[in-house]
């Protein structure tokens, strides 16, 4: 009777072959490598951002009240004190996301490495629980940021966000605060809420569940369309900061005409005019 060959060498070769076929482990996300990151849900990786696209806090005009509230809340959080999740809502182009990035930069300038800014894209909200699991183990305090957050009809991912912010067993990690910007105060489209009201057995309770998402944010900061003087103050502030030599009368006239052609006045429109002006003057903006 022929003896069977030993199994150990065969099993070792099989194991080695499987190791070669297996995908490499995901690289660790080291929050000590930078002050800003973007979360890539498909790779479960935090990608460092070398230079954040932002403007200085002093250049944000017409939003002084909400600026001071957000700065105070973020300073307390950076110092290890209790702080609220924040919803920045309101008119387009009035500096909601710019304010978040400027506040982060201001605090880190005063206290280097105080905060890490992590951006999560709207379409990756369903992966928020996984991200928070990673951030919970980090030694840094983290400002988690989602720009232009809103939910449309038949979108149920808001339930994941609601549970993570305050309602889940684990809740929000102590080292994380969540800031979101939106054009909607209640984050949900009007037809979405009205559809719930018309089809539910108890319309009031259905609508209340949807509105409750915004209630997870302890601070609601409203941004409203600016008037002519505030818009012109924005333009003057940018022009002075970047040294764009133009007479006050010409600057005011050109800025007013630019707003008329855009059909709106906002911080974004003011910045677009400044970019056009700098280009015409042959000046760079950094």
Spell out the domain ranges in the chain.
Answer: 36-223, 228-280
* The pLDDT of residue 1 is above 60: no
* The pLDDT of residue 159 is above 90: no
Write down the residue that tokens 């030599």 correspond to. 245
Section 166-179 average pLDDT: 80
pLDDT at 166: 66
Of the candidates 197, 19, 24, 45, which has an alpha carbon nearest to the alpha carbon of residue 120?
Answer: 45
The string of pLDDT tens digits covering residues 224-248 is 989 999 999 999 999 999 999 889 9
In 3-state terms, what secondary structure has residue 11? helix
Tokens standing for 98?
A: 């710019």
* The pLDDT of residue 80 is above 90: yes
The CATH fold assigned to 36-223 is: Rossmann fold (3.40.50)
Distance between CA 285 and CA 274 in Å, rounded?
9
pLDDT at 168: 61
pLDDT at 30: 77
Distance between CA 192 and CA 210 in Å, rounded?
9
* The pLDDT of residue 210 is above 90: no
Tokens standing for 268?
A: 């974004």
């Amino acid at each position: 009777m022929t003896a069977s060959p030993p199994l150990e060498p065969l099993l070792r070769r099989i194991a080695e072959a499987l190791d070669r076929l297996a995908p490499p482990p995901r690289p660790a996300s080291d929050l000590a490598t930078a002050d800003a990151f973007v979360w890539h849900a498909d790779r479960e990786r935090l990608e460092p951002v070398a230079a954040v696209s932002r403007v200085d806090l002093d250049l944000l005009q017409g939003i002084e009240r909400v600026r001071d509230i957000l700065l105070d809340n973020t300073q307390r959080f950076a110092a290890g004190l209790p702080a609220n999740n924040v919803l920045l809502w309101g008119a387009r182009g009035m500096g909601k996301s710019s304010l978040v990035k400027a506040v982060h930069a201001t605090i880190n300038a005063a206290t280097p490495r105080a905060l890490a800014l992590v951006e999560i894209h709207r379409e990756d909200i369903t992966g928020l629980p996984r991200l928070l699991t990673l951030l919970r183990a980090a030694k840094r305090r983290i400002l988690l940021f989602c720009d232009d957050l809103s939910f449309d009809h038949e979108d149920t991912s808001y339930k994941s966000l609601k549970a993570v912010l305050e309602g889940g067993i684990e809740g929000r990690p102590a080292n994380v605060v969540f800031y979101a910007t939106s054009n909607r105060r209640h984050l949900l489209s009007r037809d979405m809420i009205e559809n719930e009201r018309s089809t539910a057995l108890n319309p009031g309770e259905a609508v209340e569940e949807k509105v409750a998402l915004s209630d997870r944010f302890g601070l609601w900061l409203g941004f409203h369309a600016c008037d002519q003087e505030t818009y012109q103050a924005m333009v003057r502030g940018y022009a002075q900061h970047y040294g764009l030599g133009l007479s006050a009368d010409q600057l005011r006239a050109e800025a007013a005409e630019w707003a008329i052609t855009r059909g709106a006045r906002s911080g974004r429109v003011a910045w677009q005019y400044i970019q056009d002006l700098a280009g015409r003057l042959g000046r760079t903006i950094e």
